[in-house]
Amino acid sequence: MAGPLPLGDPAPADGGLPADLSVDPSVPFSAYLHIPFCRVRCGYCDFNTYTSGELRGAKQEDYADILAAEIFLARRVLSDAGALRPMDTVFFGGGTPTLLPAGDLARMLDAAVSAFGLADGAEVTVEANPDTVTPEVARTLADAGVTRLSIGMQSAVPHVLAALDRTHRPENVRTAVEAAKGAGLAVSLDLIYGAPGESLADWEASLDAVLDLESDHISAYALIIEDGTKLARQIRRGEVPTPDDDLQADMYELADSRLAAAGFEWYEVSNWARSADRRSRHNLAYWRGSDWWGFGPGAHSHVAGLRWWNVKHPAAYAQRLAASESPAAGTERPDEESRMLERVLLLSRLAEGIAVADLPAGNRARVAGLIAGGLVDPASAVRGRVRLTLRGRLLADAVVRELTD
């Protein structure tokens, strides 16, 4: 399970937004639907997920109706605040959304569309484990209005999958991709690099495999060791080595080179797409600071600078909604300095970069030093934008510190 929730102010029982909150109706609105169920817990994962043995007081078969109750609470809250807008993107994340019957996911999507409506050309994504995608599942999702499947491939090498506690077989990824394409869905594949025992040759084999599958979008994330996970405990006991930063950098450079040669363009440090219309619009909504409501246990929301998060356990979440109360556990309104830091952190990771004028005034002169260090593209800086070079992407956190400290 994930770590503790953030500290914050108490959330109102009715879920209402502050009376002084000013919502811009032109800002896009997105919905995130959290499905907190997994068959097994991967050793690296610290997401708010639960296996069947951890679900005392909660039933998976009831989940679609419970989450729909929060959807209609959100409609009331946003309508009362004059902030009701159609959804530009919808994202089913987890956990393993496709561990639930596809019909349950369809019912949740139908509830959200009934409550908010969908903007023209909206993107609707479902995350999936390769073992859970069949032609029937893909067709049911497509018929319900899903447009995109994000498949957790992680690796094509069996011993790397085993190190990550992933249970699917590499060949099942192709089966899932073919099922999704057969239903007319766009396909994204997720990879993780730097697992214990993974060599550069192993990583290249995964890149070969992912390119052979001809997906529309690829995400590649360096393995991060999160406190409280099985993998963190194994490293602490000396059972497996700590990820090698230099090897991970080599893996990133190899991925960027191979993906670019295959026609993919990077648009965020860890994300590549075949074309601009295949980028993850939902994730771009987060990075660009749009509004979203996160439904489900532990989900986080953001509207007009206000943030809140739900109680974590599915049973506590269900109990709140059964009592006609908001499941929100806490709320906060970050000050301008915190919002500035977040804007720099997120926007600087995008290929489009961040405008120099949007940086803290006292730090704008530091861009010259970042150019000298090969971290920022000089031609873009002359045009007034901070865009990371390949070296800058590898050291993105250091760039952010320089621009905000």
Assess whether pLDDT exceeds 90 at residue 216. Answer: yes
Model confidence band, residue 69 (pLDDT cutoffs 50, 70, 90): very high
Tell me the mean pLDDT in the region 22-47.
Answer: 88
What's residue 2's pLDDT?
A: 58
Assess whether pLDDT exceeds 70 at residue 3. Answer: no
What's residue 57's pLDDT?
A: 67
What's residue 315's pLDDT?
A: 93
Assess whether pLDDT exceeds 60 at residue 222. Answer: yes
Tell me the mean pLDDT in the region 278-301.
Answer: 97
Q: How many CB atoms lie within 10 A of CB 336?
A: 8
Q: Where along the chain do its domains lie?
A: 29-287, 335-405
**Considering only 97-106, 197-206, 233-242, 256-265, which range has the smallest mean pLDDT?**
233-242
Nearest residue to 165 via CA among 36, 34, 3, 45 = 45
Q: How many CB atoms lie within 10 A of CB 281?
A: 20
Tell me the mean pLDDT in the region 220-226.
Answer: 91
Assess whether pLDDT exceeds 80 at residue 7. Answer: no
Pairwise pLDDT comparison (44 vs 293), residue with the higher score: 293
- What is the pTM assigned to this prediction? 0.95
29-287 homologous superfamily: Aldolase class I (3.20.20.70)
**Considering only 38-47, 79-88, 173-182, 192-201, which range has the smallest mean pLDDT?**
38-47
Model confidence band, residue 353 (pLDDT cutoffs 50, 70, 90): very high
Compute the mean pLDDT over every residue in the chain, rounded to the nearest whole number: 94
What's residue 1's pLDDT?
A: 47
321-325 long-range contacts, CB within 8 A, separation 24+: 321/66, 321/69, 321/70, 321/73, 322/66, 322/69, 325/13, 325/14, 325/15
Q: Which helix (H) or strand (E) holds 256?
A: helix 245-261
Model confidence band, residue 42 (pLDDT cutoffs 50, 70, 90): confident
Model confidence band, residue 40 (pLDDT cutoffs 50, 70, 90): confident
Burial class (CB in 10 A: 0-12, 13-18, 19+), 205: middle
